[in-house]
Amino acid sequence: MNVLITRKIPSIGIKKVEKRYDVEINQRARNLRKDELIEKVKEKDGLLCLLTDTIDQEVIDAGEDLKVISNFAVGYDNIDVDAATRAGIAVTNTPGVLTEATAEITFALILAVARNIVEGDRFVREDRFDGWDPTLMLGHELHGKTLGIIGMGNIGCKVAEISQGFDMNVLYFDKIPKKELEEKIGAKSVNLDTLLSESDFVSLHVPLIPETEKMIGKEELEKMKDNAYLINAARGEVVDEKALVKILKEEKIAGAGIDVYANEPHGANPDYYELDNVVLAPHLGSATHRARGGMSMKAAENLIDVLEGKEPEHMVNPEVLASR
């Protein structure tokens, strides 16, 4: 069988796939263009792709022999899952292995923005530090503060657990109540308005789906406290970036830590660059050796399982296998 891997991923997964199938890998340090993807997916049985590849109806139509689209990511908003399902193609993803890495970067962003780490780094490098100053770059502690988690899936739950090391109170907004977590750490399920108006840190951990697109807009941002921070390590489109830039410019919230952008895969949002109260990261949520190795392995296993006629561990559209 023939498999297309759209970018060089950690070799552990590639080796696993290469042992079984003929593999074509895009060796360039850039994403395949749409026309290249359409050309290369022809006569392939399996596609292992990244969140930066848009797998739409046209790509799916071109992949007439495709049986599986294995996404090297937990989020799969880059794939037209309905079109894949109609074409009888299994779609898989890689949850679990990146939970800790993504939860940890949430705290990296929280600490960086609330304690002025990036601003401080610039200050030192510019040789402006000339001794301890009692009022220099005062920030906010996490200790005893309220953390509002929007989306209490695997990553949200891990963020809630880590927050206990900082003695934070946890509010959360999710369709599915997490009773166990409520009992374990006293997390409280609340509506979105309460979460926004009572939290000192609001952190987003929802997938990008139609209901979550721009779920944090002007109105929601205006409900936040003026000394609160917004953290987004989910997807850029979950926030109305224009509204966020405006509210940050007007200093109506204290700041933001941002790892994801609506403009991806074509870079970040330049409107953020001028703002001092924002810490920006280049979509590093799962960027650890362990997480990316695990994602590579999982993506390979999911792909192989489908091609071998087995049910993969992480299937986005299980109805496809049920109807085979």
User: Does the annotation mark 290 as catalytic?
Assistant: no
Give phi and psi for 243, each to the nearest 5: -65, -40
| Closer by beta carbon to ligand GLV, 51 or else 202 | 51
Q: Which residues, 120 to 149, sit near ligand GLV by CB under 6 A?
A: none
Structure tokens at 133: 């100053």
Contact yes or no for 252/264 (Cβ under 8 A): no
User: Which of 7, 205, 283, 314 is labelled catalytic?
Assistant: 283
152 binds ligand GLV, rule: CB under 6 A? no
75 binds ligand GLV, rule: CB under 6 A? yes
Environment class of residue 139 by beta-carbon count within 10 Å: exposed (0-12), middle (13-18) or buried (19+)? Answer: middle
Count of residues touching ligand GLV (by CB under 6 A): 7
User: Does the annotation mark 283 as catalytic?
Assistant: yes
Cα(195)–Cα(172) distance, integer angstroms = 7
155 binds ligand GLV, rule: CB under 6 A? no
Per CB under 6 A, which region of 71-79, 104-112, 133-141, 210-218 contacts ligand GLV?
A: 71-79
DSSP H or E run through 248: helix 241-249
Q: How many helices (H) and strands (E) does the chain have?
A: 13, 12
Binding-site member from 4, 37, 47, 98 for ligand GLV (CB under 6 A) = 98
Q: Which residues, 15 to 54, sit near ligand GLV by CB under 6 A?
A: 51
Torsion sign (Cα): 284, 287, 291, 296: positive
Give phi and psi for 294, each to the nearest 5: -65, -40
User: Does the annotation mark 264 as catalytic?
Assistant: yes
108 binds ligand GLV, rule: CB under 6 A? no
What positions carry a catalytic annotation? 235, 264, 283
Chain residues that interact with ligand GLV, rule: CB under 6 A: 51, 73-75, 98, 285-286
